[in-house]
Amino acid sequence: MPSLVDPVANKTDEGNNRTDLKAPEPEHCPGTESEEAGKADACQGCPNQDICASAPKGPDPDLPLIKDRMKGVKHKILVLSGKGGVGKSTFSSLLGWGFASDLDREVGLMDIDICGPSLPKMMGSEGEQIHTSLSGWSPIYVSDNLGMMSVGFMLPNQDDAIIWRGAKKNGLIKQFLKDVDWGNLDYLVVDTPPGTSDEHLSVTQYLKESGVDGAVVITTPQEVALLDVRKELDFCRKSGIKIIGLVENMSGFVCPNCKGESFIFAPTTGGGKALAEEFNIPFLGSVPLDPRIGKSCDHGESFVEEYPDSPATTAILDVIRQIREAVGDPQEDEDDDMDE
């Protein structure tokens, strides 16, 4: 069983992929696994120079292994946002449940938020432990056709902090892609932490050869969030990730008691819709604030199933339908999406 016995004990290795480095890479490090490692200008005087110079070079030997694993995965979707707490994990879980409600589809959920994993709780599988077999790490199955992988399943104690630098997180992300026995999947949904850093760079780099269908970008309506989401869109562009669309979450609040509507996060600059227009990307819809979404997440339940009448459910199902269309796997026409 893979377990992170004492993550903190590893703190002193500065979280390198390579555990043999003496010090963190300096600012202009060409990359410890690059051709230039140990020889570039930045390497002069770097305490790692000898180690890097003598390390084996060439293309990452793990990439073909990842490609091999990912062969059986038809659609890979990243859930991204520059901003924290906008609902990336909530949406990843909703996509997981949504795709898996079609019993003919096999779905995987991968949580690469290493320091703040939320999916185990949201999927009601907290406290599970990962097992290994000859074919790799077995995902945790929430239902027959919905498996998941998260660092949350690897902690001896749920409250432990994972104090890891980026490079070390990359190592685990690589293992999630290389060593997990996903089997054949129709969808692999990847939940990410906020920002544009190691996790994002690595997952796109590792999946480059296998091909990612695209990213679903989540925002909330206020400019403080849009500001960060702009940066994420810029990142997607630069790294060549297709954007499936933008979802605006927590748009307005319709009280379940009185149907009165009020704005909690006012869209003073036009919200997600205007941003989607500005970047010329599809706008997948607005999901209103519904406090019951937060409660369903905390209880590990599928909101869509629990509250089929909520206006939020209608919006969520519509987003899922559009995503399936965008990746070329349209839903068969059912008169009522909610009928199982």
Partner 1 sequence: MYSTATQSSPSLAGVKNIVLVLSGKGGVGKSSVTTQLALTLAAQGKKVGVLDIDLTGPSIPRFFGMEDKQVYQSSAGWVPVYTDASRNLCLMSLGFLLSSRGDSVVWRGPRKTAMIRQFIRDVVWGELDYLLIDTPPGTSDEHISIAEELRFCDQILGAVIVTTPQGVALADVRKELSFCKKIGFPILGIIENMSGYVCPHCSECQNIFSKGGGENLAKQYECKFLGTVPIDPKFVLMVENAKGGLQEIYGETDMAKIFAGICDKAFSEENEEEAKETAEEEKSRAATNGQ
Ligand X SMILES: Nc1ncnc2c1ncn2[C@@H]1O[C@H](COP(=O)(O)OP(=O)(O)OP(=O)(O)O)[C@@H](O)[C@H]1O
146-165: contacts with partner 1 (CB under 8 A): 158-165
Question: Is 127 among the residues that bind partner 1 (CB under 8 A)?
Answer: no
Q: How many residues bind ligand X (CB under 6 A)?
A: 28
Q: List the one residue out of 207, 218, 275, 267 whose CA is nearest residue 241.
A: 207
By beta-carbon proximity to partner 1, the closer residue of 291 and 330 is 291
Question: Is 312 among the residues that bind ligand SF4 (CB under 6 A)?
Answer: no
Q: List the one residue out of 74, 143, 109, 69 whose CA is nearest residue 324.
A: 74
- Residue 240 burial by CB count (10 A; 0-12/13-18/19+): exposed, middle or buried? exposed
Q: List the one residue out of 270, 278, 231 whose CA is nearest residue 248.
A: 270
Question: Is 88 among the residues that bind Mg ion (CB under 5 A)?
Answer: yes
Question: Is 255 among the residues that bind partner 1 (CB under 8 A)?
Answer: yes
Question: Is 294 among the residues that bind ligand X (CB under 6 A)?
Answer: yes
* DSSP β-bridge partners for residue 132: 137
* DSSP β-bridge partners for residue 109: 148, 189
* In the complex, minimum distance from the CB of residue 167 to ligand SF4, in angstroms, rounded to a whole number: 10
**Which residue among 10, 16, 89, 302 contacts ligand X (CB under 6 A)?**
89
By beta-carbon proximity to ligand SF4, the closer residue of 4 and 29 is 29
Question: Please, what's the b/e burial string for 31-43 (b: 16 or more CB within 10 A of its CB; e: otherwise)?
Answer: ebeeeebbebeeb
Q: List the one residue out of 205, 221, 275, 199 whose CA is nearest residue 243.
A: 275
Question: Is 26 among the residues that bind ligand X (CB under 6 A)?
Answer: no
* In the complex, minimum distance from the CB of residue 225 to ligand X, in angstroms, rounded to a whole number: 6
H or E stretch including 77?
strand 73-80
By beta-carbon proximity to ligand SF4, the closer residue of 30 and 195 is 30
Question: Is 48 among the residues that bind Mg ion (CB under 5 A)?
Answer: no
Question: Is 25 among the residues that bind ligand SF4 (CB under 6 A)?
Answer: yes
Q: Which residues are annotated as a binding site for [4Fe-4S] cluster?
A: 29, 43, 46, 52, 255, 258
